Amino acid sequence: MFDPFSQQGAGELNVLKRHLQSTVLTLLDRNTSQREIHRLTGVDRKTIRRYQALRAGAEANSPGEVTTGSVSADGQIPPPRPPAFGTSEATVTSSLARSACEAHRTWIEEQVRLKRNAQAIYQDLVDQFGFPSSYQSVKRFVRRLRHADPEQFDRLEFLPGEEAQVDYGEGAPTVDPKSGRYRRPRLFVMTLRYSRRSFRRVVWKSSQQVWAQLHEEAFRYFGGVPSYVVLDNLKEGVLKPDLYEPQLNPIYSAMLAHYAVVADPARVADPNRKGCVENAIQHTQGTALAGRRFETLEAQNEFLRHWEENWASKRIHGSTRRQVEAMFQEEKPHLRPLPVAPFRIFTEVVRTVCDDTTVRVDNSYYAARPAPIGSQVVVRIYTTTIEIRDRHTRALLRVHSRMAHPGSVVLPTSERPFNPSRQTAVLLASAERIGPQTRALCQQVFDTEGRPSRCGALSGWAGSTRRGWSSRPARTPSTTASTATSTCVRPSSGCSNRRSSRLE
């Protein structure tokens, strides 16, 4: 029998303490796997394999001992079969042990194809088949199956001008003008799938507006528009990921509609769908930007433009074995022409229609009819104009010029309601006692403004009449009318909290 403490055994093995040698041999006798022995004892698996090989050789050369396993014709136990070439340590197990999972190989392979993890497979093995072994044996068996049968991908071919892919990465360290320290900006890359020609730009911060603007710059850089764009599910582009009905960012959706481009968001956690732009980002980071620093963002963008035109576009692509620039010249005529007018960047907000049928935007008020009072509408804020749209259909309701002064009101006279108070009859009767011209003037004010409080002096006149207008010195009708006119037409802020008013 093999004696690990003999001089011959000690000369061939790493020197272990006696209790570790005994533990290793005992576990080997129990057909414990090398991984488990390493976990229990901390002994390196190479040392464990040498102990196992020497023990097996010693037992094979001992004619008087009987061991477990197949016996040859002369009574000797053959030496253990060496592992297959290229087998990793994780798959090297004892020659005397056979995985208990082999009896269920077909069923386990089917579960692996269904993307089930080892824990779920182990639980079903115990419940359905009374599996006697441990979870670790199932875990190792599943790992070997996955390594032996990796996922297969189809080779996709694209037509010229058919697809572009976009994504963000990290640029080279650049001096931040706010802090004066180096930090990495965001690297935007759009790659045409057919020719692999790319547009690259670094920005400090991304937003809905920046994301749309970078797309527009890329389209104009290529001189045309592809049929559709593949993007990741980042918030600048996709608000709610969905395989069939993804909800796009409204600004991004409007930009794509302006250029007649279709968005094709990749599935969640599926970077292989846009592997072309992923490789372009890695190529940019590893070749163009590795080890470089820039003082300004403009300097890095200028370097990226120079590198693309002089190096990246002139290279021979590894997959197609053709020059990128030559393929781009083939693809460029297939890109759809750019629209004459560029896309107007806007900011979109949701506002509630007030009780006077206006919405408040930047401390100014704009008419929102035909939107009902209390309903919510979408307001698109451009540089010089304001668009009010239906929240659900995005139908255009109103267009206004953007007011420069806070507190301005854009509400046509025809949309101002006639809303007399309960004292209208009393005030008009008082004006009648003053004179017919005063009565006619006040009636005109009521018909136009609709709110008697805009002419607050009338209440004062009515009070004077009740206190005894006849006791005061008589005035001619012309003098009375002139006084009433100068009083009623002065601006009043009692009815409205707005500073000024504009009629359309």
Please, what is the end-to-end C-alpha distance for the chain in angstroms?
108
Whether 131 and 125 have beta carbons less than 8 Å apart is answered as yes
The per-residue pLDDT for range 365-376, each reduced to its tens digit, is 999 999 999 999
Residue with tokens 């709610």: 240
* pLDDT for the residue numbered 430: 84
C-beta neighbour count of 477 within 10 angstroms: 12
The DSSP output letter for 470 is: G
pLDDT band at 53 (very low <50, low <70, confident <90, very high): confident
- Rounded to 5°, the CA angle 126-132-134 comes to 85
pLDDT score of 295 more than 90? yes
Pick the residue with more confidence: 30 or 449?
A: 30
- How far is 25 from 85, CA to CA, in rounded Å? 26
Cα gap 13→167, rounded to integer Å: 55
Indicate the angle between helix axes 477-488 and 436-449, nearest 10 degrees.
Answer: 20
pLDDT for 485 equals 35
Nearest to 200 by CA among 211, 220, 214: 214
| Cα four-point dihedral sign 182, 183, 185, 187 | positive
Question: Which has more confidence, 306 or 450?
Answer: 306
Give the pair of three-digit tokens for residue 368: 């929102």
Q: Greater confidence, 319 or 308?
A: 308
